[in-house]
Amino acid sequence: MSREFREQYDKVRAWAAEAQAAGWLTERDLEELHTMETDFATELFHDRDRRPLIVAFLGGTGVGKSSLLNRLAGHPVAKVGVRRPTSTEATMYVHRSQALNVFAEGSPIADTRVEYHDVEARREVAWLDMPDIDSVEAGNRRLVLAWLPYVDWLVYVVSPERYRDDIGWQLLEHRHRKHHWLFVVNRWDEAVDVQLPDFAADLVAAGFSAPLVLRTSCTLARDDDFDRLEDIINKAIQDHGLAELQRIGVLARLEELDKTANDMRRRLGSFRDWEVLRDQCEEQIGRRLDIYGERLAADLEIIAQQYPPRPAIWRADPIPPVLPEQQISKTIGTAYTNDLIADISVDMALRVEEKGVRSGPLRASLQDALDNAGELILAEIRNGLADAMKAPEGTAQRVARRAMDVSVYLLPILAGFWVAWNVVSRYQQGISGENAFLGIDFAVHSLLMIGLSWFVPFLMSRWLRPSLRDAARRGIHSGLGKAAHVIKGSLTQALDVLIKKRKALLAAFPEKVRPGGEK
């Protein structure tokens, strides 16, 4: 089981490191994973498969833990006294066949006094006298905390006057699912009967269901449950097996690892969250780009004003000016593009954070997609202007003007042919006496018709000439629209890529700690 935990822990740690590198997790998100207990009692013994059950006496100062161990051993193996304990006063009572790995990295063996025995009935149990948990010695508390990950079974010892001390309860509430527990009211000869059920009620309130509380006394008057203490543990080994009793600590750690890993996984958000965020992002991008265009209106008009309006009829067609790129860039500037980037990034980051998801990857993706937004906008505006100057008029206007240009020549020619035909025809009729010869009125009207057939198309052609200023406005807004379309596409694509990366990261989530639902 310890090997399974280690494998799962390494997988989760590798996954978390990858998620942190991608910006989905922070060092703070990984704190709980880094502080998890990863040490096991198997590391303390050379023969890991046959190591003993480690049973520790834990309690406050003066409750008699060392006296219980000495009574169990039948001779003094742990120091007893008012000055006890020092920071090196943890004592282990273990069978001689159990070879300890004194070089186990990070283990508390170096600060523990080991007493070996040859009692065959106690081969499968190693008894440990722990320093006082409420000691003012910082080293004592560190030693207790260092030993706890290796302990299978905790015998929590109290005395009649100190069974409600807060320090011990705080430790109980944090670890009550990680060990097997027995509770002992020591120095029972000094207690009153009501204290036993009172202590049991406190244990139930702390989360222990049906706690087993024993009475012990290390004085000569020994009407207590001391004999049951070792019998209970030995019977548990016989009934359930040593390996099964050792599993509880590993299972508790696997459960803690599952919770920690899934808490980190939730920092990536749910599938539904990202579907909503994607829709919101597209809407927000479109809205921001529209606002951006409105804010640019004044500056864009300054550029358009550099081009002449529609010329007077009697003037020649204007030559469109060539605005230098520096002038366009200076007029628009980069402030607006920076604001655009900031507005979109901040707004979407806030929406992501509201879902409990880290916004770092989203910010980075949007930033990458917007890095060249300013240059793109300027380039599209320049291209729009250039295209507008090449074709400053609309299709209908261009067709009508071309028609008028042709009519300027064609209509007078047709009118001339009509006049000539009428002159010849009436002359022949006049000779034959069929009709009168044409007079001065016909000549005047003919000249007027020919003049009008030229002047009207000429006038219409001049009137249909485009305004370069209006064309510049259209070109600028066309370029801005194209740039907005490209930017929106880039941002949407960046968001889709981010969602795919998130999905791939979730797919790499360790299988055994993967929750139900989204994969």
Q: Smallest Cα–Cα separation from 111: which of 96, 136, 125, 131?
A: 131
Q: Is the pLDDT of residue 116 over 50?
A: yes
Q: How do the domains of the chain map onto residue ranges?
A: 47-244, 268-393+467-519, 395-464
Q: What is the mean pLDDT of residues 445-458?
A: 91
With 0-12 CB in 10 A as exposed, 13-18 as middle and 19+ as buried, what is 252? Answer: middle
Q: Smallest Cα–Cα separation from 328: which of 390, 379, 391, 388?
A: 379
Q: Residue 519 — pLDDT band, cuts 50, 70, 90?
A: very low
Q: Residue 326 — pLDDT band, cuts 50, 70, 90?
A: low
Residue with tokens 């028609």: 403
pLDDT tens digit string along 414-441? 999 999 998 888 888 888 878 888 888 8
Q: What is the mean pLDDT of residues 15-29?
A: 89
Q: What is the mean pLDDT of residues 172-181?
A: 79
Q: Residue 144 — pLDDT band, cuts 50, 70, 90?
A: confident
pLDDT tens digit string along 452-505? 999 999 888 888 888 888 888 888 888 888 888 888 888 888 888 888 988 899
Q: Between 3.30.70.580, 3.40.190.90, 3.40.50.300, 3.40.50.720, what CATH number should domain 47-244 receive?
A: 3.40.50.300
pLDDT value of position 407? 93
pLDDT tens digit string along 195-252? 888 888 888 888 888 889 998 887 655 678 888 888 998 888 888 788 888 777 788 8
Q: Are 157 and 66 in contact (CB under 8 A)?
A: no
pTM of the model: 0.66
Alpha-carbon gap, residue 438 to 429, rounded angstroms = 10
Q: Is the pLDDT of residue 138 over 80?
A: no
Q: Is the pLDDT of residue 55 over 80?
A: yes
Omega of the bond leading into 85 within 30 degrees of 0 (cis): yes
At position 210, the amino acid (one-letter code) is A
pLDDT value of position 415? 92
What b/e readout covers 279-300, taking b as 16+ CB neighbours within 10 angstroms? eebeebbeebbeebbeebeebb
Alpha-carbon gap, residue 378 to 325, rounded angstroms = 9
Q: Residue 6 — pLDDT band, cuts 50, 70, 90?
A: confident
pLDDT value of position 333? 59
| Rg of the chain taking only CA atoms, in angstroms | 47
181 by DSSP, 3-state: which? strand
